[in-house]
Amino acid sequence: MFEGQARCATCHVPPLFTEPGWALHKPEEIGIDDFQADRSPDKQYRTTALRGLFTRQKGGFYHDGRFPTLEAVVNHYDEHLKLKLTPEQKRELIEYLKSL
């Protein structure tokens, strides 16, 4: 799922689960506003490493903590990227993310 239909590995490349090099994305690429990006010199978002996601559970997920759960992040990308994930695929992906 991670490397297949969900396409997570496109940006979150194993084994580090982030993008090699200068990993930046424009807000419209990831389907969010530019509020946080506008605070950076290059006006873009850095690809967040996915290892240790459990450390962000209290503060929220995503670049600025805007999503309270991993389910909310998965639902966001499912909608924005038109992935058409089933509820079971979403659950499997969330469990995988928790294991990183």
**Tell me: the pLDDT tens digits for 19-76?**
777 778 787 887 787 877 777 788 887 777 777 676 666 677 876 778 888 899 999 9
pLDDT at 76: 92
The pLDDT tens digits of the residues spanning 74-98 come to 999 999 999 999 999 999 999 998 8
Yes or no: say if 87 and 95 are a contact pair by the CB < 8 Å rule: no
Closest CA to 91 of 71, 69, 62: 71
Taking only the tens place, the pLDDT of each residue in 27-36 is: 788 778 787 7
Distances (CA, A) of 96 to 1, 8, 21, 28, 53: 9, 11, 25, 26, 11
Does pTM top 0.75 for this prediction?
no
How far is Cα 97 from Cα 26, in angstroms, rounded to an integer? 23
Domain ranges of the chain: 8-99
